[in-house]
Amino acid sequence: MTPTEFRRRLHADPELSFHEERTARFISECLAAEGIEHRPTAGTGILARLVGSGDPRRAVVLRADIDALPVREETDAAWKSLNDGIMHACGHDIHAAVLFGVLQRLKHEGGFRGTIFGLFQPAEECNPGGASLVLAENPFDGYEVTAVIGEHVEAGLAVGTLGFCPGKFMASNDELRFTVRGKGGHAAMRSALKDPVIAAAELVLRLAELNSRECVVSTGRIIADGATNVIPDEVHIEGTMRTFDEEVRRRAKRSIADIAAQTDSRYGVETETDIGEGYPCVVNDERLTATARELAAERFRAVDLQPRTTSEDFGRYCERYPSLFYRLGAGERSGATHTSLFDPDERAIDTGIEFMSLLAIKLSETYE
């Protein structure tokens, strides 16, 4: 099977995070047909392994995500999603096809040292994220992991272009949920109220003051289900927080708790604050990034990228191993990811395979 055929098969049968059963079976069949050793990981993921020359305990991990999104596809591609309301709208089908192509090539052409793992990771799009489940299994114990490499298609970046950002690249992502409990009642009888709507309004404004270059706090959902003349007993608020630094993240979490306590004492309400433990920052290893960028510039077009406020559970690998996450040009007319019309240029698959294979071989040798 060619990597492009592999991609089209995945694209036509997308599955949501933590439900990638048919996807995992298909990947397993394709790897088996190539004679590539592999096993399940994190429920619906697959971990493949190739062993080259030299010390097999030295390992490079190549990671692709495999889950799709709850989006109804509206492209007219011949390989359009057959699963109503589910679509590979983030390009994870491309990532998986690139990884399959790389493993196929390395298996048949060799030329690398140590061990190369091919990790088809489930559930990137959904907290707690498949990466945390993979790592909880400690699959790389007994190995010295010298690099974890991941990529993501980049909408709007020309095919044949690769984008890099050393150091802080993608943000941490924490979901914020608040329930502000007061005392509702007749809206005209204010002295009898502990008005949670006013307290919630102040809470939202104070949270917005935490926004800075290093920190994003946005509120996307506020429910105060009263009426013109009814103040409800409670108000629900939901939002998201992004930072580029784990220390900034810790400080912002403390500030949020302080702000909630202050509005509570001011308005006599009680706020329950739930800050879910989301994805950590993606921080690229400087040395790996420099090596990869240089290699990309020799064979392709390499560009520098700015840090971005979106997030990725790839950050979990960055916490534990030297890691690199780069961007693969998906074409200027691909449309935006997470939309029903996202249609990456499939020629990106060839660039992706070529580059990731070269990088894997180079990294497997560099650390001898």
- Specify the DSSP class assigned to residue 53: B
How many degrees, rounded to 5, is the angle at CA 344 between CA 339 and CA 348? Answer: 150
| For Zn ion, the closer CB: 146 or 284 | 284
| For Zn ion, the closer CB: 90 or 348 | 90
| Nearest approach, Cβ of residue 231 and Zn ion (Å) | 39
| Nearest approach, Cβ of residue 46 and Zn ion (Å) | 18
| For Zn ion, the closer CB: 89 or 215 | 89
Site for Zn ion in 283-302 (CB under 5 A): none
| For Zn ion, the closer CB: 93 or 195 | 93
- The residue count for binding Zn ion (CB under 5 A) is 1
Is 90 a binder of Zn ion (CB under 5 A)?
yes
| Nearest approach, Cβ of residue 202 and Zn ion (Å) | 33
Query: In the structure encoding, which two tokens stand for residue 278, read together?
Result: 């989301």
CA–CA gap between residue 245 and residue 267 (Å, rounded): 33
| For Zn ion, the closer CB: 204 or 324 | 324
| Nearest approach, Cβ of residue 94 and Zn ion (Å) | 10
Backbone angles phi, psi at 103, to 5 degrees: -65, -40
| For Zn ion, the closer CB: 151 or 234 | 151
| Nearest approach, Cβ of residue 67 and Zn ion (Å) | 9
> β-strand 270-275 against 215-223: which pairing, if any?
unpaired
Scanning 12-20, 86-94, 180-188, 343-351 for contacts with Zn ion by CB under 5 A, the matching segment is 86-94
CA–CA gap between residue 269 and residue 116 (Å, rounded): 56
| Nearest approach, Cβ of residue 294 and Zn ion (Å) | 26
Scanning 52-60, 87-95, 154-162, 250-258 for contacts with Zn ion by CB under 5 A, the matching segment is 87-95
CA–CA gap between residue 131 and residue 312 (Å, rounded): 10
| For Zn ion, the closer CB: 46 or 90 | 90
In the chain, alpha helices (H)? 3-12, 21-33, 92-109, 130-136, 196-208, 246-267, 286-299, 315-320, 347-366
Scanning 26-34, 88-96, 174-182, 352-360 for contacts with Zn ion by CB under 5 A, the matching segment is 88-96
Is 50 a binder of Zn ion (CB under 5 A)?
no
**Which one-letter amino acid corresponds to residue 302?**
A
Residue with nearest beta carbon to Zn ion:
90
CA–CA gap between residue 339 and residue 333 (Å, rounded): 13
CA–CA gap between residue 74 and residue 67 (Å, rounded): 18
CA–CA gap between residue 102 and residue 61 (Å, rounded): 12
| Nearest approach, Cβ of residue 90 and Zn ion (Å) | 3
| Nearest approach, Cβ of residue 125 and Zn ion (Å) | 5
Is 159 a binder of Zn ion (CB under 5 A)?
no
| For Zn ion, the closer CB: 50 or 90 | 90
Buried b (16+ CB within 10 A) or exposed e, 249-277: beebbebbeebbeebbeebebebebebee
E-strand spans in 52-135?
58-65, 115-121
Binding interface with Zn ion (CB under 5 A):
90
